[in-house]
Structure 1
Amino acid sequence: MATKPSKSWNNGENHLIFNMVAGVAPNYNTVIDLNISKAILAGAGFDTWTFRHGFDISLPLFSPIAKRINDSQPKQKNYMIISTQLNIPDDYLAELQSIASSSNDLLLLDRCKTGTGKTDYTKRCEYTTGKVFDYPDVLKEGMFCLVVRSARLAQPVLMDILASQCIPIIIADTIVMPFNSHVDWNKIGLFLPEENIKNLLKIVHSVSKERRGELYWQLRWIYDRHFSSMEKITLTTLEILNEKVFPLAARMYEDWNMPEHLYGPVNPLFLPVTAPKSPGFTAVILTYDRVESLFTLVRKLVRTPSLAKILVVWNNQKKQPPPSSEWPVVNKPLKVIQTKENKLSNRFFPYDEIETECQLTIDDDIVMLTPDELEFGFDVWREFPDRIVGFPSRLHVWDNVTGSWKYHSEWTNQISMVLTGAAFHHKIWSWYYTYKMPAEIRTWVDDNFNCEDIAMNFLVANVTRKPPIKVTPRKKFKCPECTNTEMLSADARHMSQRSACIDRFSRIYGHMALKTVEFRADPLQYRESAGVPHVYPDIGAL
């Protein structure tokens, strides 16, 4: 009997339908037999024809057996490939029987024949010998396990295989894998075209030992995180739905697919060896009320050929920035952003106005840099786009007397930090600083009004495992127009507080993330004899 839809149905808008057990006999439909209209369907057994990409959510086909499989493992895998799936189509089964008959690398199991005609789902029998194996225990004996399309496209055996820590080999051309929009199945399994099933052994033997190890360890983490219980399947589904509604809250690929306990933090930058020059860089100036110094800096910055835009972060809530009529007339775009709170972290907020990949973070009193020095610094960053590249450098050292890390500012050959009072970095690090860096560090920086540059160096080094790059030998970065009493570094506690920052941040990260290096980037013709044409002639000397 047909029923009238409720008024709240609204043609399915803002509705989510769960379909955990899809595809029943005799038709094994891949989608629920309802008029779902505009509702989002979170279901199992999708194929590429029925799945609405970017809208629906693909789920695993529930297996009541998988939740009973513990995570114990045998000392070694006794079989290269195991097939335990029932009801494999005849043509594919014939291919697998041919392989199993000629090679010990494939253990082909099927239902055991009994006199009662009933199937005991806790047993599987070998195709060639009739030997009986316990199911699902036998899955743990295999390095790889097969999942083959049948009348039902999705198979519950997939969850049994993952729970048993057997690497799945998927032979189903049109299947939409569970949580395919977020889970990278190529990191936990192999995909074999149906027409290529006869080459199964050749393909598996081509997988290196290292690759097998990566797949094996990765699938355990993915299964535990997303598939090991109905609760986790549901929460993962809701998290994907939340990202559809609030894309700015979306987690990154690495968060879904890269366990830090196996790989450590993953560098999010997949850039060419040398970043392109044409987009240029955005200069982000943090300022409070040193207007004269700010204007001087703006006039110098605009003479740099690769400068694309200037973004002035006005950090003074008690005083308005100068009116537009008082600003220097420049030939580059300039935007002033007024912050709501006076925080050092404002310099690293990922502002929408930063449209270039590269940003120059610079203080309003750094007026001694020449356009050639800035241009050269940008060119060096292009060679090292995942690092902090800049001019003033510092070093961390271990103090045996106090048993702690110390901030070292003397002129040395070694460096481990480039201060962000004048430094180039990829804009993604501002996003990481704001949203991914330990909140305890950011809170401490804002509360104590110090060490945001040290925090950024810790962040980048912890992710990339690489040191920063110092550019040119310039070592004096002082504001000639400013008196010492106006400068933050004039505080007698400044140096001790910086040392405390390094010690604190290393404890929060659990290790010393900073990397030390003896390296400095200079122009090729730097300090060459007279007569040699200089690409960057106005580079300051010692």
Structure 2
Amino acid sequence: MKKLLASINHRSERFQTSISYIIILILVISGVCIVCDLFNLRNEAGQNNKVPLDLDHVHEILLSSGSEEARERDDNCRLWDCVNLYRCGQKGHDRLTVFVYPLQEYIDKTSGNTVSILTREYYQILEAVVRSRYYTPNPNEACLFLPSIDTLNSNLVKPGTVEQALAMQNHWENGENHIIFNMIPRVDGNILKTDRAIVLGGGFDSWTYRTGFDLALPIFSPTQQKVADLSAKSTHLPRRNLLVAVLPNIYQKYRRYVQTLADDNPNDVLVIDNCIISNKESRNGIHCNSSRAKVFEYPRVYEKGTFCLYSHSVTMGQSDLMEMLAYNCIPLIAVDNFVLPFEDVLDWPLFSMRIREAEMHSIVKKLEKISHTKIFELQRQGRWVYNRYFKDLNVITLTALEILENRIFPHRARSIMDWNKPDDNYRSTFNPLFLPVISPKAQGFTAVILTYDRVESLFTLIQKLAMVPSLQSILVIWNNQNKMPPHLSAFPTISKPLKVIQTRANRLSNRFYPYNEIETEAILTIDDDINMLTTDELDFGYEVWREFPDRIVGFPSRIHVWDNATMHWRYESEWTNQISMVLTGAAFHHKFWSHMYTYAMPGNIKDWVDQHMNCEDIAMNFLVANITNKPPIKVTPRKKFKCPECTNTEMLSADLNHMRERSACIDRFASIYGRMPLHSVEFRADPVLFRDNFPEKLKRFNDVGNL
């Protein structure tokens, strides 16, 4: 009995002890949870307050010869195969999230040297990310990862060791979903081993840039921070020197061309080089002009030029492009394969000029043709772009992250116009058509027919146009001053309003005059011999214009090509897969363009067209493309436009010099605009059920596409 009681007491003690252990375990777990909650709260507070990176607790990590190395850069990477997009947008977040690795110091075990010393510039980049809306302290919620390894300047990085440090990152996984800031590439041309990581770098060319994956950055210069605010100064007039070129920043091969320009144009071109003082080159920042008569401080010398030459240098890792913009000097870029900073979203032709390397000898002639108005617009846009996207590392970093966010979340992306539209209220150089997405259907279009003396074909055309449901009215422009137009009673009887205007002079530009009789937004400009278009084709063309009211939408198309043999632009009328112009002999456009053509055409283009009786359609295409930066839209597959009733001697295109003159037009207009605004595109608009094996009664546009 005693043994039984003793056994029961012993079991009771063990049970109590077990209960005690369980209670203690529960208390420990509760304590851990409380600590975790506090830690999470601290992280959330840190995220909300955007606490900068902690430099007081940096861990040292040794790199041994056996450490894993990052693989060579994958040149075939694209966003959809080298980025795990499923990591992005977690927990319903439709924004970019970036995790910054904790600061760590990597030591090369063999030499004892630090692999990558954190520079002030890279710390500013890391801090900009941590303080931004993109930062997340939780790597499990991150879309992209940013190592705290300084790779800004590849020339300061010991080859091999930094790749080992990258491969040791906890979430590296062959660089997938990682971003690497590498502003200055190596002088020897060796590329940093980054495997599948996205490289945000400077000095990209068309051979090394992975389009849509990498991101071209501006190369920041500390001297930019010393630039005084020039916004208060008047920069709308050309400066004393038309062109400034800094020879130490130009590759030796091209210096001879630049020096020749200065010798031939001493009053327009300022060329500066290193000063020679006591048989020694001058200290950094001091340069002399070619005559050694004056001394200039670099980069302040850029404020003396209207244009500043950016040419090939020993390395593309030069900051002079940003320094030019800082001093509001218009960059003249003479590097054929250079990928411009943020060119994915920035429209560089709005604040810079670009010229082929082979044309460097003609720089001055081209620049002299640019009007003061164009210079003012370039300088004004350049000042805004610099302050908005380039002025410091914080702005550069946030801009880069926003571009990456646009790629990953395209539904949130800003339009190109929003990226390039200044915030102030001065007259915009962009598309001024503040129109709804689709123009009202009830308005219809006004057909403006330019004619001279082809009455029979004119009447045939009027009868066909009157059958188009979307036609509102017809306006006949009688361009013959030696003969009165037929009386209205002689015109075909139609159900739509018709009016005839006899012009005071025989000019092709008369077709684009903003007549008060035009009450609709849409205008169909059409020649009197274009009577082969069907009702369905014209009606469908108007429907396409309603969706693209800022474009020229029409039927006959042409292309401009560069001729390497003659070094000139050539007008091409052959059938190709590309178009860059839609001829206004049968095309829709907004009435605003008629106003712009008549009153705001650059240079003497309009007068030249009227004198030579040619190229008014090319001039209109240049005008629209220059303002909108968009190509025209070709409608339906019809390619040939002939006048069966007309003899060849009656048509302007019968002239043997016609094609030569039109090629010369493109060259002339491009020189006046200071660039080539036309954009080539492989695109054509056809009805949805076009040529589908479908019942005809269910198709809206049946009579489309007959050649």
Task: Compute the TM-score of the two structures, normalised by the length of structure 1.
Answer: 0.53
The structure-2 alpha-carbon separation of the partners of 1:74 and 1:301, relative to structure 1 and needing over 3 Å to count, comes to same
Out of 405, 420, 432, the residue aligned to residue 268 of structure 1 is: 432
Cα deviation digits, residues 466-504 of structure 1 (max 9, x gap):
000000000110101000110000000000101000011
Cα distance 1:295–1:313, how it changes in 2: closer, same or farther (>3 A)? same
Tell me, in whole angstroms, the C-alpha distance in 2 between the residues paired with 1:286 and 1:417.
20
Matched, 1:382 2:533: no
Query: Equivalent residue for 2:562?
Result: 398
2:688 is equivalent to residue 520 of structure 1:
no
Q: 1:289 to 1:77 in 2, by over 3 A?
A: closer
Matches within 5 A, 1:300-339: 300-339=464-503
CA shift, 1:75, in A, is: 2.8
Aligned: 1:428 with 2:579: no
In the alignment of these two chains, the number of paired residues is 301
Amino acid at match of 2:651: M
**Residue aligned with 1:308, SS:** strand
**Does the Cα contact within 8 Å between 2:597 and 2:623 map onto a contact in 1?**
yes
Is contact 2:603-2:672 (8 Å) kept?
A: no
Please name the residue that 1:473 is paired with: 637
CA distance in 1, matches of 2:628, 2:694: 40
**Alignment partner for residue 357 of structure 1, among 507, 521, 542?**
521
Secondary structure of 2:500 counterpart: strand
Cα distance between partner residues in 1 of 2:385 and 2:642: 53
Within a 5 Å distance, the mapping from 1:435-454 to structure 2 comes to 435-454=599-618
Quick one: which of 343, 349, 361 aligns to 2:507? 343
CA distance in 2, matches of 1:463, 1:377: 22
Deviation readout 1:305-334 (Å, 9 max, x if unpaired): 010010000000000000122110110000
**Which residue in the other structure is 2:195 paired with?**
none
Change (3 A) 1:450 1:212: closer
Render the CA deviation track for 1:117-143: whole Å, top value 9, x for unaligned.
xxxxxxxxxxxxxxxxxxxxxxxxxxx
Query: By how many angstroms is 1:266 displaced?
Result: 1.6
Structure 1 pair 510/77, CA: closer, same or farther in 2 (3 Å)?
closer
| Equivalence for 1:290 | 454
Residues 331 and 502 (structure 1 numbering): CA distance in 2 closer, same or farther, change over 3 Å?
same
Residue type matched to 1:531 in 2?
A: P
CA distance 1:530–1:509, change in 2 (3 Å) = same
Q: What residue identity is the alignment partner of 1:537?
A: N
Dislocated runs of 4+, deviation >2 Å: 73-78, 210-217, 256-260
Provide Cα deviations, 1:104-161, integer angstroms capped at 9, x if missing partner.
xxxxxxxxxxxxxxxxxxxxxxxxxxxxxxxxxxxxxxxxxxxxxxxxxxxxxxxxxx
**What is the rounded CA distance, in whole Å, between the counterparts of 1:349 and 1:216 in structure 2?**
42
Deviation for aligned residue 1:259: 6.6
Check 1:343–1:439 CA distance in 2 against 1; reply closer, same or farther (3 A cut). farther
Instruction: State the Cα distance separating 1:212 from its structure 2 match.
Output: 11
1:504-519 pair list within 5 angstroms: 504-519=668-683
Write the distance in 2 (CA, Å) between the matches of 1:350 and 1:259: 21
SS in 2 for 1:485: helix
Task: Kindly state the Cα deviation for residue 275 of structure 1 after the two structures are TM-superposed.
Answer: 1.2
Amino acid at match of 1:502: I
1:319-351: per-residue Cα shift (whole Å, max 9, x none)?
A: 000012211011000011110000000000011
C-alpha deviation, 1:411, in angstroms: 0.5
446 and 211 in structure 1: CA distance in 2 versus 1, 3 angstrom threshold: closer
Q: 1:401 to 1:309 in 2, by over 3 A?
A: same
Give, in angstroms, the shift of residue 274 of structure 1: 1.2
2:635, 2:448 → 1: CA distance? 19
Tell me how far apart the structure 1 counterparts of residues 388 and 454 of structure 2 sit (CA, whole Å): 54
Paired with 2:513 and 2:446, the residues of 1 have a C-alpha distance of 13
CA RMSD of aligned residues (A): 2.7
Please report how far the alpha carbon of residue 541 of structure 1 lies from its aligned counterpart in structure 2 after TM superposition.
2.7
SS of the counterpart of 1:286? strand
Q: Distance in 2 between matches of 1:77 and 1:397?
A: 44
The separation in 2 between residues aligned to 1:76 and 1:453, in whole angstroms, is 46
Residue 539 (structure 1) aligns with: 704
The code of the aligned residue for 1:321 comes to: P
Q: Name the aligned partner's letter for residue 511 of structure 2.
A: R
- How many angstroms apart in 2 are the aligned matches of 1:314 and 1:76? 60
Is 1:368 aligned to 2:519, yes or no? no
Q: Which residue of 1 aligns with 2:226?
A: 75
What's 1:463 paired with? 627
- Name the counterpart of 1:409: 573
Mapped to 2, the partners of 1:355 and 1:439 lie a distance apart of 29
Are residue 484 (structure 1) and residue 648 (structure 2) matched? yes
Q: Deviations over 1:279-310 (max 9, x none)?
A: 00000000000000000000000100010010
Matched position secondary structure for 1:502: helix
C-alpha spacing 1:398/1:76, structure 2 compared with 1 (3 Å): closer
Q: How does 1:143-154 map to 2 (within 5 A)?
A: none
SS at match of 1:525: coil
Quote the Cα distance in structure 1 between the aligned partners of 2:465 and 2:588. 14
- After superposition, what is the alpha-carbon deviation per residue over 1:368-416, rounded to whole angstroms, capped at 9, x for unaligned? 0111100000000011100000000000000011000000000111000
Name structure 1 gaps, 5 residues minimum: 1-72, 79-209, 218-253
Q: Report how far residue 213 of structure 1 moved.
A: 3.8
Larger Rg: 2
Percent identity over the alignment is 68
CA distance in 2, matches of 1:439, 1:445: 12
3-state DSSP class of the match of 1:539?
coil
Moved more, 529-538 or 265-274: 529-538
TM-score, with structure 2 as normaliser: 0.41
Give the distance between the partners of 2:655 and 2:549, measured in 1 at CA. 34
Contact 2:530 2:586 in 1 (8 A): yes
- Look up the match of 1:133: none
**Distance in 2 between residues matched to 1:502 and 1:77, nearest whole Å:** 41
How far residue 211 of structure 1 moved from its aligned partner, in angstroms, is 10
The change in CA–CA distance for 1:335 and 1:214 in structure 2 (over 3 A counts) is farther
Contact 2:551 2:630 in 1 (8 A): yes
Distance 1:503 1:423 in 2: 23
Whole-Å separation in 1 of the counterparts to 2:427 and 2:525: 32
Structure 2 portions without partners, runs of 5+: 1-223, 230-383, 392-421
C-alpha change, 1:482 and 1:212, in structure 2 (3 Å) is closer
